[in-house]
Amino acid sequence: MKPAKASNLYEYRNLSKSEREFFGLYRTPELYEVNGDSFENYWKQNYPIQFFVRNTSENFWITLSVWKDKIIDNTWRRLFPKNKWARKIIPHTYSDKVELIKDFLFAGIVDFVENEPIEFIEWESSETHKNAFRRINKCYAFIKKEMPEKQIKIDELMDDLYGGKELNELFSESEEDEMFDEINKLSKELEDEIQFYCVEIVSLRNFLWT
């Protein structure tokens, strides 16, 4: 049903009956003037039964639509959620925020590089975008290659120092001190780099969209 060619109640009243109605059904206006007189009061007065039926029906479908979205949110979207990369990172058990924040930020970069259509972004459009893409890839390289390699080296030194050994395999006190200092040095360097890249990822936040 075509709308009535009116934007306020005055124009609506001055329309002919055929322009206001369609086989007895009142037409709604094509536009509603801001702060204009109420069409609803006019329809209530001139089409009381029809207005009640149509208004009740509209409210019913609006309510049904809202409930449909709620049902979808509470069933389908819970069974098949989006952002699987984030859900894999956040455990169901307690986790220290120190590690959780780092893991979440790093996983976000990995998912962005590996799964987002970044090839469609015009990274060469400006020096700012070109620099951002370089920094994103640097973060990715640290997360996927440099950080694991450095952690493996620390773990190996820890295993050499504290792993189960026979008496004839024990290090001298000076050797243990030297290894302990090396572990502390590498651990501190890695932690500083992790902190740097956490801050770097946050600063790149506005470029992580496709």
Q: Categorize the per-residue pLDDT at 88 as very low, low, confident or very high, splitting at 50, 70 and 90.
A: confident
Distances (CA, A) of 9 to 29, 128, 147: 9, 54, 70
CA pair distance 106, 156, nearest whole angstrom: 24
Using DSSP, state whether 69 is helix, strand or coil.
helix
Q: Categorize the per-residue pLDDT at 6 as very low, low, confident or very high, splitting at 50, 70 and 90.
A: confident
Cα 4 off chain centre by: 42
Range from 8-22, 28-42, 57-71, 163-177 carrying the lowest mean pLDDT: 163-177
Kindly report, residue by residue over 102-155, the tens digit of the pLDDT.
Answer: 999 999 999 999 999 999 999 999 999 999 999 999 999 999 999 999 999 999
Kindly report, residue by residue over 165-198, the tens digit of the pLDDT.
Answer: 554 455 667 777 788 899 999 999 999 999 999 9
Residue with token string 């290659």:
145
H helix or E strand, kind and range, residue 27:
none
CA-closest candidate to residue 54, choices 39, 68, 71, 69: 39
